[in-house]
Amino acid sequence: MALHRLTSVTIGVPNVDSTAAYYAEFGLSPTQNGRFATVDGGEQLHLVQAPHRRLIELGIGADDADDLARVAAALRRLAIAVEQKPEAVVAVDPGTAVRVVLTAAPRISQSGVGAPPSNGPGRSDRATCRADAVLRAGPVRPRKLGHVVLGSTDLEASQRFFIDGIGFKVSDTIAGLASFLRCSTDHHNLLVQPAPVALLHHTSWQVEDVDEIGRGARAMLAVDPARHVWGLGRHHIGSNFFWYLRDPAGNFTEYYADLDCILDDQLWKPGVWDGANSLYSWGPPVPPSFLAPDDLAELMAGAHS
């Protein structure tokens, strides 16, 4: 039938122990052998040893064997080497060097969370009581892996690989730069942008609402304020609230909530954006390190060694 979600990411880092401790504090649940689970998505993060930080593997879930066969055929038409097994189709994107593993996987099932009542001008939907958000206690627990942003040394090849090969759909485009791609009903599950070296920019993890973003970031920054990258804000493309933090290896991790959902492809009109709106609607100014990670020169040197 179709692709329906990201299943998992495998991230290589030089410092597995400290990075693992970070993701546990971020709210993912350690399972075994460097793997971490979200509340609704199961094991979605695997940390492995690598000389430099990078995304090693991206898992994508499809409905059935027909989807796998269709994707394998599409990749072969692009002259991309494909490893086809009964349970998986494996291929490497030439621009990001990421190994993509497509499997037939169960769809994610999420119990709906009702929006907490709120007050507004002339409206007291939460009458005579404190906001639920200020009474919440306990750690923030991400519900699922939402999206991944990658740097590619060959953007055209990466777009071809992910759109024409794997079958991602384009939700919106930043003129001349990058496209927001989806393999589910989420506005985006993948964005590939041009970069001087193949790199993982960030992974993004869904939480219930904007208050969970604030609570999560506050807890992470209480341990180490240097983890802060950018937030709190609201993106224009995709509409989601965001807060970006940095793991000990240098990868950014985003808490997000209230992303656009595209349930009917026919009704969504992809836009082409440029200028200030392409990055955010509101929030603090964009830090330069968000656009060009501080370790870029190091990663480039590593790629050539």
Question: Which residues are near Fe ion by CB under 5 A?
Answer: 204, 254
Q: What is the C-alpha to C-alpha distance for residues 260 and 64, in angstroms, rounded to an integer? A: 26
Contact 3, 57 (CB under 8 A): no
Residue of minimal Cβ distance to Fe ion: 204
Residue 55 Ramachandran class (φ > 0 left, ψ -120 to 50 alpha, else beta): beta
Q: What is the C-alpha to C-alpha distance for residues 96 and 71, in angstroms, rounded to an integer? A: 19
- CA distances 66 to 103, 168, 246, Å, are 11, 16, 39
Q: Which is nearer to Fe ion, 211 or 254 (CB)?
A: 254
Shortest approach of Fe ion to residue 202 CB, angstroms? Answer: 6
Shortest approach of Fe ion to residue 149 CB, angstroms? Answer: 6
> Quick count: other Cβ atoms within 10 Å of Cβ 101?
19
Q: Which is nearer to Fe ion, 158 or 204 (CB)?
A: 204
Based on its alpha-carbon atoms, the radius of gyration of the chain, rounded to whole angstroms, reads 19
Shortest approach of Fe ion to residue 191 CB, angstroms? Answer: 7
Q: What is the C-alpha to C-alpha distance for residues 287 and 90, in angstroms, rounded to an integer? A: 36
Shortest approach of Fe ion to residue 242 CB, angstroms? Answer: 6
Q: Which is nearer to Fe ion, 159 or 203 (CB)?
A: 203
The conformation of residue 277, written as its DSSP 8-state character, comes to G
Q: Which is nearer to Fe ion, 34 or 216 (CB)?
A: 216
Shortest approach of Fe ion to residue 161 CB, angstroms? Answer: 20
83-84 and 88-92 strand pairing: antiparallel
Q: Which is nearer to Fe ion, 11 or 62 (CB)?
A: 11
Shortest approach of Fe ion to residue 221 CB, angstroms? Answer: 18
Q: Which is nearer to Fe ion, 15 or 193 (CB)?
A: 193
